[in-house]
Structure 1
Amino acid sequence: MSESATPLIAFYRGEAGDHKGRTLEDIWALSPFWLEHTHDYVQWLFPIPEAGRFNGFAPLLGEADRTAFAQDEALRANQRRSLDVMLTFFGLTRRALVIEALPELNMREHIWLKRGGHNHLRISRIIRSLHLCQQPELAAAFQQAMIEIGTTQGVVSEQSIGYWRAANHS
């Protein structure tokens, strides 16, 4: 780990693992089943300044981390790849700032299209983290896509939509 790197930045640079020793590339390679049923990785992929309920070992996004993301395109690129992994999990795809549904997106297989659930919390976290990690345009594109797809192809609650709308405000 670089002498000045926080655990989060070392993880995002591929220099260290998370609290269970998993590297960023390890997580990128995991199955959709694992991504759905494991709850202690998304905080590493999409850090925010507040502690979550599900992973007391997750790093909090501090000012040093935000500065590192602002100054290092490789960190932002790795976070975009993390987003792409999650987009595939959600049944979506991305080309630059265009995020859209894959043809196989459906409510039966993609539980985030239904009311409630932990994936709605993940979506709020992702929007906020992208915004805080110096990718506001991508945060806005993801936010808009999730709201539009969630309300037109699913039955996402107004409460979740409200959280998503508010997620990109520091």
Structure 2
Amino acid sequence: MSFVNAKNLSSPLILFYKGESSTITSHPGKKGYLIDEIYNWDFERLEYVHDYIQWLFPLAERSAFNLDAPVLTDEDIECFKNDEDLKTNVLKSFKLMMKFYGFDCDDSRGSVSLKKSNNFQERSKNWLTIKNHNHLRITRILKSLTLLGLNRYALAFFNILNELYQDYKQEISTCSYNYWKEAAQISIDR
């Protein structure tokens, strides 16, 4: 069932998530990305390209790192919460990033669980390090999932991050952990 109507049909974010438009960039000579292109990227590209994460996991506040990134409106949020196609793509984005971080996601039985994948040790080398930019990405993912009504996924992600924090306090700063906890707490409160 599609919830998209004339009012939100012009939203660049909704069009991107529907696969009908690419990300927007103001950089001369640089083209945007279609969502299906991003879904086909390898892990190296997901690591080194920095202007897609704000499109996959939008927030209601402007990005300090990507001025071309969309800002969620109330209409966008309602659309994501009520449109099954949009939800499906957000979950596809989430599962892509979980693979990138080295987690397997199982949501086949109505609940959501994450566990370390067989390649966790290899994958974690890219993000489980001191002051890593992926810690900011993780905060964004948690907040975005909550805003878009996917609290169970945000909580499952936080739960495994919480377990990791107990073993990797040198690599995960207290500051990063507290941001994650705050984003997850918002999810609990909703």
1:158 to 174, 178, 181: 174
Q: How many angstroms apart in 2 are the aligned matches of 1:63 and 1:82?
A: 21
Q: How many angstroms apart in 2 are the aligned matches of 1:120 and 1:9?
A: 26
Give the superposition deviation at 1:108: 7.8
* TM-score using structure 2 length: 0.83
What is the RMSD computed on CA atoms of the aligned residues?
2.0
SS at match of 1:106: helix
Unaligned runs of 5+ in 1: none
SS at match of 1:99: strand
Structure 2 counterparts to residues 11-160 of structure 1, below 5 A: 11-19=16-24, 20-96=31-107, 97-106=112-121, 110-152=125-167, 155-160=171-176
Q: How many angstroms apart in 2 are the aligned matches of 1:162 and 1:109?
A: 20
Determine if contact 1:107/1:114 at 8 Å carries over to the other structure: no
CA shift digits 1:102-152 (9 cap, x unpaired) = 122127853321221110000000000000001111111111112212433
Unaligned runs of 5+ in 2: 25-30
Determine if contact 1:17/1:24 at 8 Å carries over to the other structure: yes
Determine if contact 1:115/1:157 at 8 Å carries over to the other structure: yes
Q: How many angstroms apart in 2 are the aligned matches of 1:34 and 1:54?
A: 18
The percent identity for this pair of structures is 35
Q: How many angstroms apart in 2 are the aligned matches of 1:151 and 1:81?
A: 28
Higher Cα radius of gyration: 2
Q: How many angstroms apart in 2 are the aligned matches of 1:120 and 1:42?
A: 12
SS at match of 1:167: helix
Determine if contact 2:101/2:123 at 8 Å carries over to the other structure: no
Q: How many angstroms apart in 1 are the aligned matches of 2:136 and 2:124?
A: 18
Structure 1 runs of 4+ aligned residues shifted over 4 Å read none
Q: Give the number of equivalent residue pairs.
A: 170
Q: How many angstroms apart in 2 are the aligned matches of 1:48 and 1:7?
A: 14
SS at match of 2:95: helix
* TM-score using structure 1 length: 0.92
